[in-house]
Amino acid sequence: MALICGALLLAATACGGGGGSDAGAGDAKAGDSTKSASKQSQAVVTIAPKNGAKAVDTSGALKVTAAKGKLTEVKVEDAKGTEVAGSITGEGATWTPASHLAAATTYKVHAVAKDSAGLTSAEESSFTTLTPKNTFIGNFRPEDGSTVGVGMPFSIRFTRGITHPADVEKAITIKTEPAVDVRGHWFGNDRLDFRPENYWQAGTKVTVRLNLDGVEGRPGVYGKQAKTVSFTIGRSQVSTVDAKSHKMVVKRDGKVLKTLPVTTGKPGYDTWNGQMVISERLVVTRMNGETVGYGGEYDIKDVPHAQRLTDSGTFIHGNYWGGGAFGNYNASHGCVGLRDVRGGYDKSVPASWFYNNSMIGDVVVVKNSNDRTVAPDNGLNGWNMPWDEWIK
């Protein structure tokens, strides 16, 4: 009997010992949990707009902030993996994008912050920007891939009047090789031209990025254009027309290439003075006085070798009807005329030679005319505006 009782007591002791061991294990787990909790980062990351948001504004809505810590990494990208540039400011408190977002686009945000103990906290979000009901684009010159003369600005006309010009201009970036300072100037609310202070250096490569997709150009009207345009500046050609001596001196890369006899605007129809850029080239065209306010004074259906200098209708062109005017007196209605033959077939005449040795963007300077200087926005002629006024 005593032996049985002893055995029972031993079993009870063994059970008690086992229970004590379990309690110890429970205490150890609780201690580990407290230790783990103490290692959780105190930094709090907040992303606006909220996860899953729709129809988000393309400007001003995206912002990432950190409380009780500092942002160390923010990555925002669209569905194609294209990242949105931005910067962390306020000593790690805030991240904002460098520019607007594209319209109708889904973005993913990943942000990391670190607290004072060096522990990190992360947050992720996704949202979709608005789909605009009204849009605009910019029609630009010169064309992508073209080679142009040293006077060619990058000129863009918008299909809607712009009331937020600073936002639109910020979305257009221009890089050149070699580097040169290029600035934009608005003519009205629908045209923006870019140029350097002086004519381009021959051989300059120009790259323009039109990041207009999502830019709010006017209330409720957004750009829908994302395009890169590249062009090259060719050789330097500047031709000077003297309305008094009736001659034009053509200089190529600073050296006189040819001197040609011309006729300019007769009294009452004087040619503009100033620097004018060739903006259009036509082997043959019709010139009708009614289109430029001269009624039915002339209507010539086959004007050869015509190169446009102003939007208002000034050309430098071939003239087969001028008789002895070239080099002697002014007989035109405002254009610069060069001797030519009807049909423009003779390549030896001055008009043909000049046409075949010119390109879009070449400069034609007129001096000693009795008219005023051409307006900077009449054609691609912003060179007639002083630089300090251009950059205002």
Nearest residue to 272 via CA among 337, 157, 160, 367:
367
Q: Which helix (H) or strand (E) holds 87?
A: strand 86-89
Nearest residue to 315 via CA among 329, 334, 335:
335
Q: Which helix (H) or strand (E) holds 315?
A: strand 315-319
Q: Which helix (H) or strand (E) holds 36?
A: helix 2-37
Collapsing DSSP to helix, strand or coil, 23 comes out as: helix
Q: Give the end-to-end CA distance of the chain in Å, rounded to a whole number.
A: 113
Collapsing DSSP to helix, strand or coil, 337 comes out as: strand
Residue 390 neighbours by CB distance under 10 Å: 16
- Omega of the bond leading into 178 within 30 degrees of 0 (cis): yes
Task: Measure the CA dihedral 247/252/258/261, to 10°.
Answer: -20
Q: Point out which residues pair with 4 in neighbouring strands.
A: none
317 catalytically annotated: yes
15 catalytically annotated: no
Locus of tokens 């890169």: 228
Cβ-based burial of 74 (10 A; exposed 0-12, middle 13-18, buried ≥19): buried
C-alpha span between 369 and 226 (Å, rounded): 44
Q: Which helix (H) or strand (E) holds 33?
A: helix 2-37
Choosing from 100, 185, 333, 335, the catalytic residue is 335
- Encoding tokens for residue 357? 């040795």
Task: Measure the CA dihedral 26/29/34/36, to 10°.
Answer: -170
Handedness of CA 163, 166, 167, 173 (dihedral sign): positive
C-alpha span between 213 and 215 (Å, rounded): 6
Annotated catalytic residues are 317, 335
